[in-house]
Amino acid sequence: MSEKKRVVVLLSGNGTNLQALLDQEHKYSYQVVGVISNIPDAYGLERARQHKVAALGLDHKAFSSRTAFDLRLIQEVNRFDPDLVVLAGYMRILSPEFVDRFAGKLINIHPSLLPDYKGLGTYKRVLADKKPLHGCTVHFVTPELDSGAHVIQASLEVKATDNEESLMQRVQTMEHQIYPLAAHLFTSGRLQLKEDKVLLDNHPINPLGYQLKENALELA
């Protein structure tokens, strides 16, 4: 039963999304075969090692330019022969060279209901704007930041008592469910990007929408 598809994870920090991907491997069609961080002491690398997954720190500060770093990153990712490349808290904008090389098999999870709140610091901005809803989006990665086609979104109601920390906690709990699911849908061959559209079972979809209701995720 070793027909599992090969996933490489890129991250920069804690790696709770990596942990969720690892913890749910057993029920899904993928296997994480390598983890690369541009921050050499990222805790996510330690999570990989504890799970006996190859872990590589590649310090972007040791390279003369973004492109030089990304060209090396392409080589290192390719050594793992991935079917899917997953950004999980990867905090460096990727050059067109990298994105084009893995086009159609490169996904990201972003902590907002895209197209709202692209970029960094989403929780602070959502709270400042007193938005009633927040959430996260899995999307295919294109050269333009946070702008690729959406695969899955999960939303929740912002509470009057929420602060950045509480909102992040609840959004990340949703991330840890929808991101492994997205990796599974892709690696089981059900999900693909075709001419900038997301197809599920060969039909175009709007993103699959989930909502958090009484601490459980429901398909909206």
Q: Cβ closer to ligand GAR: 120 or 216? A: 120
Packed helices 43-50 and 16-23: angle between N→C axes, nearest 10 degrees: 20
Residue 89 within binding range of ligand GAR, rule CB under 6 A: yes
Give the nearest distance from C-beta 12 to ligand NHR in angstroms: 7
- As to burial, measured by CB atoms within 10 angstroms (0-12 exposed, 13-18 middle, 19+ buried), residue 10 is buried
User: Phi-psi region for residue 110, left (φ > 0), alpha (ψ -120 to 50) or beta?
Assistant: beta
Q: Which residue from 8, 16, 114, 156 is in contact with ligand GAR, where contact means CB under 6 A?
A: 16
Give the nearest distance from C-beta 90 to ligand NHR in angstroms: 5
CB-CB contact of 174 with 210 (8 Å): yes
Residue 69 within binding range of ligand NHR, rule CB under 6 A: no
Q: Is 26 a catalytic residue?
A: no
Catalytic residue among 60, 110, 139, 176: 110
**Which residues, other chains included, contact 196 with Cβ-Cβ below 8 Å and sequence gap of 6+?**
149
Query: Which structure tokens are listed for 187?
Result: 């690696």
x/- string (CB under 6 A) for ligand GAR, residues 94-133? ---------------xxx--------x-------------
Residue 25 within binding range of ligand NHR, rule CB under 6 A: no
x/- string (CB under 6 A) for ligand GAR, residues 141-180? -------------------------------x--x-----
Give the nearest distance from C-beta 10 to ligand NHR in angstroms: 8
Calpha distance 98→88 (Å, rounded): 16
Calpha distance 188→203 (Å, rounded): 15
Q: What, of ligand NHR, ligand GAR, none, does residue 55 touch, CB below 5 to 8 Å by kind?
A: none
Place of tokens 């109601």: 157
Enzyme catalytic residues = 110
